[in-house]
Each structure stands twice: as C-alpha cells, then as structure tokens.
Amino acid sequence: MGNPFDLSGKVAVVTGANTGIGQAIALALAEAGADIACVGRTPAEDTVAQARALGRRAEIVSADLSTIQPVQRVVDETLEKLGGLDILVNNAGIIRRADAVDFTEEDWDAVVDTNLKSVFFLAQAAGRHMIAQGGGKIINIASMLTFQGGIRVPSYTASKAGIGGLTKLLANEWAKHGVQVNAIAPGYIATNNTAALQADTARNNAILDRIPAARWGDPADLGGAAVFLASRASDYVQGHILAVDGGWLAR
C-alpha cells in the first residue's frame, strides 16, 4: 500500500496561499508530494518559490474571491497549468470587527461573500470535476467560531458556523462519489487576521490563559492535519471538523 500520507502525483488548489495559514498548508502539501495552484488576489510568489524549491510544480492563479465570478476559471486554469485537480483547500477569508449594534451591511456582505458564498461555489466547481474523475479531497478552513459565538465579529461568526454546516452537507452528498469533504478549525493562530487580538494585552492574556498548550499556534501547526485530510489516510473520514487549537475547546 505504501505511505498513506504520500501526495505524489496529486494537484492541490489552495486559496489565500500567499501568507499565514494558506501558505503553511500549501507548503505542507508540497512537502508531502503535491503540486500546488496558489489562488488569491495577492500573487503568492514566495509560496510558489518555496514549493518549487521542494521539487514540486507550483503556479499562481490570480483570483479575487470576494465574488464568485472567478471560481470556474480557477478550476479551468489549474487543469490547464497543472493537468489535474485532486485537492481543494478553501482557506481564503477576511474578517471585520465592530459591535453587533453598529455592524454594517457592507461589512456583513463582504465577509459572508468571501468566507461562505465563494467557498461553496468553488467547492461546487471543483466537486463537479472530482465527481467526474471518481474522487477528490476538499478541506474547508473553519474556526473556533464554528463552535462558539465570539464577540464583535458577527459576519465572521456566521460565515464560519456556515462552513461547519456546509462541510457536512457536501460530505453527505458526495461521499458516494469518492469525494471526502472535511474541515480544519484552527485555534488562535498568530496571523495577520489575529493581529488585533495579539496587540490587545487584556484579550491576549485571556486567550493564553485558556489554551492548555500555553501559546498561540503557528500556521505550520496546521500542516499535518491538512496532509492527513488531503491523503488517502483519511478516505473514511467524512464531514469532520478537526480542531487544531492547542486544547482550547477542551478547557
């Protein structure tokens, strides 16, 4: 059977692959053998260079996922440039912060359109290809707010709660086609999206006090979970939301 975590010969699309969690996951998949299509509105030149240094093929696919307009092109361009599509990691996302009583429709729509609507329609476009070829892996990036409410991030919370439900829905429909759909729920990871929390001394201390691992996560901490869910090692895992959180939910 060989190494069940080996991704040699597979092609992975990773959205938001230019930095942070997306970059870390893209490089973990590349280290496991996958070729990478780095999707986003900011060209992931550094990620591509690092993946190629590992001996993988890697290409930039430019796309602004604040709308669904480019989703089919992402699939088509990946197939054209890399000759396949076996793994989709829906990582791209944004966050807007304000008290619920002051939250604007603009901030609601911007977050939900990017974090939930585009995720579904990109999964749909990739899923059609995967079903036709007899299988594939889709990994959505959820959040601690898939399980909890949070504060001052109503649209982000709604979008990530939606990711949890969407992951299960797609798993229910596509398991019979050999397509595994799962999610990773990062805990408090040190990225640009959490910079405001890290800079707030009171919030930072409260967060650290609850994490049994006693530290913020590093984007690289998510690599192993991504490789597992992208590989045949997870062929009987469906609709699961895997928390990588240093024990946050256990506390």
Q: What is the residue-wise DSSP string for 105-136? A: HHHHHHHHIIIIIHHHHHHHHHHHHHHHHT-E
Q: Which of 87, 89, 156, 227 is catalytic?
A: 156
Q: What is the residue-wise DSSP string for 132-170? A: HHT-EEEEEE--GGGTS--SS-HHHHHHHHHHHHHHHHH
Distances (CA, A) of 241 to 220, 229, 238: 18, 10, 9
Tokens encoding 169 = 């829905």
The C-alpha atoms of residue 19 and residue 97 are separated, in whole angstroms, by: 21
**Which residues are CB-neighbours of 42 under 8 A, at least 6 positions away?**
18, 19
Catalytic: 156?
yes
Instruction: Name which of 127, 120, 241 is nearest 175 in CA terms.
Output: 127
The C-alpha atoms of residue 84 and residue 187 are separated, in whole angstroms, by: 32
Asked if 233 contacts 4 with a C-beta cutoff of 8 angstroms, the reply is yes
Asked if 160 contacts 142 with a C-beta cutoff of 8 angstroms, the reply is yes
Instruction: Name which of 37, 40, 51, 49 is nearest 18 in CA terms.
Output: 40
* Residues with a known catalytic role: 156
